[in-house]
A and B are shown apart, each in its own frame.
Chain A
């Protein structure tokens, strides 16, 4: 079974631009979550989507948004990029029942804002 796939792996953007990151979950998984990891703040939860609906949301500004498609693939968008948005963005998928706290993470997208 293929793992969680995130594209692109690396991205360089200019301050003020917007960016879209993509995540394909493990086949059959309907929960997709996004996380931001920086050296200063660590791993922080952004939001979770389940069956095309945002089910949980972390404490991030409205510039961070996401969506999930009917095939469970998810995209995350960051508008008006700031230097502080430079981070590793991780996507994780979990089974529908989420019978435990096991989530499966992708390799991440390394975003650099210059």
Chain B
């Protein structure tokens, strides 16, 4: 499984756009990129998944360059409730049964 590297922590203010970048230099051809969000004392929650280019849903956007060696999770206009740990996962499709989490990025949103 491809190893991922993310910043350990990030700070932001309410209303700003937050971009969290994840490096995955050894991503395999059949690997997908998935992001999860976790609040304290809760289980992680799926945010978004993509393979290449750009994916957008009601919560976030995911940008993946052509070489797929990195990806950026973009959270538009964050609020205090977006304070959480964000995990970038890389692995084959159909891998919902076995998720390998890295260290994650602790995002702190301040008023």
Contact = CB atoms under 8 A, between A and B. Distances in A.
Interface of A: 4, 31, 33, 35, 42-45, 48, 50, 55-56, 88, 90-92, 94-95, 97-108, 110
Interface of B: 32, 34, 41-46, 49, 87, 89, 91, 93-104
Nearest to B32: A101
Contacts of A94: 96-97
Sorted from nearest, which 9 A-B pairs have the closest CB atoms?
A105-B43, A94-B96, A43-B101, A98-B96, A48-B97, A31-B97, A102-B46, A101-B34, A56-B98
A107 B98 contact: no
A110 to B, nearest CB: 7
A interface, over-half SS: strand
B96 A100 contact: yes
Contacts of B32: 100-101
Of the listed residues B34, B49, B97, the one surrounded by the most CB atoms of chain A closer than 10 A to its CB is: B97
Nearest to A98: B96
Contact of A50 (B42, B89, B91, B97): B97
